[in-house]
């Protein structure tokens, strides 16, 4: 093949460059697909003391303008310490990952690119910092701009903690004495739930206390649900039902939320005043599943100290849906949230 002059030489090198880029992309795609197949299954974190450069990492923020990660602006040493303390289980299934941290379940979408599996935030849809690779049979998560990593070992069996299916509802009818005991127990647990959330500011001790209370309350609520069914207003009264809702809402358990939501939907048909709690749980569940919220009840903190109500099913119908649940318009709700938290609230799409 002959090429005349500089134009021909440029064309030749252009073809070689295009061919090289195409081959590189094919190799990258092949490696990504191999990682996608290999990473499938369950993994548990290995608790290790993070190796940090204190002077550097106390100043390093998780900033990456090209990806706009959800944790943008957070100090690396704070993130690393928290990650190292977590007892975390991951379950990869294709393009989805179930994450269980301190008993809380979350579903995240996974992007495979550059030989790395990268999570996206369920609320914002933005890339989270770091990504997962396979190294010497271990799953390794790396945080950008640092040397910090978290290692995970593969589990032989898939643990129940990553299951997302609803629990089977019990139907036993407790006698009057047991009925009263359950009411008192839920009242006590609701008081604990609110007490750990009433503090101004959350230090490490407060967070650990809240996690402990939520885990104990969730465990007990699952036992009750499987035994006597949902603690509805008709069966246990409004106070017990409200306390049970708060425990479920704060449980972080997708399984428990999935179990209770249909029960609450039936209640709303006959009790419109219960619509707000149904809407809150609906949105919390769908955000946890990486899906969009319908009623705009869930707000996401931003690095600048504001909050955003986003990931909406249909912004044009939010007020219609909220009205059906006996809720105020979204704009009014956002203003009320601003007064309550002292934080600016934005309404997204």
CATH number of the domain that 120 lies in?
2.40.128
Give the range of the structural domain holding residue 109, as residue numbers without chain letter: 40-162
287 assigned to some structural domain: yes
Pair (154, 183) in one structural domain: no
The reply to whether 200 and 335 lie within a common domain is yes
Of 105, 133, 162, the residue at which a domain comes to its end is: 162
- Do 51 and 58 meet the contact criterion of CB atoms below 8 Å apart? no
Per-residue pLDDT of the chain (349 residues; tens, 9 = 90+): 444 444 554 444 454 444 444 444 444 467 889 999 999 999 999 866 555 444 444 444 444 433 333 444 445 555 555 556 678 999 999 888 999 988 889 888 898 988 889 888 766 667 677 789 999 999 998 876 667 788 999 999 999 999 999 999 999 999 999 999 999 999 999 999 999 988 755 567 888 889 899 999 999 999 999 999 999 999 999 999 999 999 999 999 999 999 999 999 999 998 989 999 999 999 999 998 888 999 999 998 887 889 999 889 999 999 999 999 999 999 999 999 999 889 999 998 7
Answer whether residue 90 is part of any domain: yes
136 and 192 housed in the same domain: no
The residues that bridge with 99 in the sheet, in sequence order, are 90, 106
Distance separating the N- and C-terminal Cα atoms of the chain: 56
Question: Does residue 47 sit in the same domain as residue 152?
Answer: yes
Q: Please tell me the total count of domains within the chain.
A: 2
**How many C-alpha atoms does 282 have within 13 Å on its Cβ side?**
22
* Shared domain check, 234 and 190: yes
141 and 192 housed in the same domain: no
Q: What value does the CA radius of gyration of the chain take, rounded to a whole number of Å?
A: 24
Is residue 26, in this structure, part of any structural domain at all? no
Which are the contacts of 275, defined by CB distance < 8 A and separation ≥ 6? 268, 324, 325, 326, 327
pTM for the predicted model, two decimal places: 0.77
Residues 194 and 340 in one domain: yes
Q: What share of the chain is helix, strand, coil (3-state, %, to 5)?
A: 50, 15, 35
317-338 b/e with 16+ CB inside 10 Å = b? Answer: ebbebbeebebeebeebbeebe
């Amino acid at each position: 093949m002959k090429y005349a002059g500089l134009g021909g030489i440029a064309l030749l090198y252009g073809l070689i460059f295009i061919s090289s880029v195409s081959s590189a992309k094919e190799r990258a795609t092949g490696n990504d697909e191999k990682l996608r197949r290999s990473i499938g299954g369950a993994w548990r974190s290995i608790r290790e003391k993070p190796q940090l450069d204190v002077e550097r990492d106390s100043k390093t923020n998780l900033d990456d303008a090209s990806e706009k990660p959800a944790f943008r602006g957070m100090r690396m040493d704070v993130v690393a310490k928290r990650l190292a303390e977590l007892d975390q289980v991951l379950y990869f299934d294709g393009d989805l990952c179930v994450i269980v941290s301190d008993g809380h379940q979350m579903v995240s979408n996974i992007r495979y690119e550059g030989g790395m599996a990268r999570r996206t935030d369920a609320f914002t849809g933005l890339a989270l910092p770091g990504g997962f690779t396979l190294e010497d049979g271990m799953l390794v998560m790396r945080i950008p701009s640092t040397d910090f990593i978290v290692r995970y070992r593969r589990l032989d069996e898939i643990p129940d903690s990553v299951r997302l299916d609803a629990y089977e509802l019990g139907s036993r009818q407790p006698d009057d004495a047991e009925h009263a005991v359950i009411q008192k127990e839920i009242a006590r647990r609701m008081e604990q739930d609110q007490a750990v959330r009433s503090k101004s500011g959350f230090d490490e001790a407060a967070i650990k206390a809240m996690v402990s209370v939520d885990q104990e309350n969730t465990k007990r609520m699952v036992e009750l649900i499987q035994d006597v069914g949902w603690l509805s207003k008709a069966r246990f009264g409004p106070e017990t039902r409200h306390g049970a809702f708060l425990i479920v809402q704060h449980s972080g358990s997708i399984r428990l939320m999935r179990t209770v939501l249909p029960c609450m939907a039936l209640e709303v048909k006959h009790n419109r005043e219960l619509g707000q709690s149904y809407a809150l749980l609906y949105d919390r569940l769908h955000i946890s599943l990486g899906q969009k919220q319908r009623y705009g009840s869930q707000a996401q903190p931003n690095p600048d100290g504001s909050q955003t109500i986003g990931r909406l099913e249909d912004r044009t119908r939010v007020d219609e849906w909220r009205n059906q649940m006996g809720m105020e318009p979204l704009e009014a709700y956002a203003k009320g949230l601003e007064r309550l938290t002292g934080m600016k609230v934005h309404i997204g799409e």
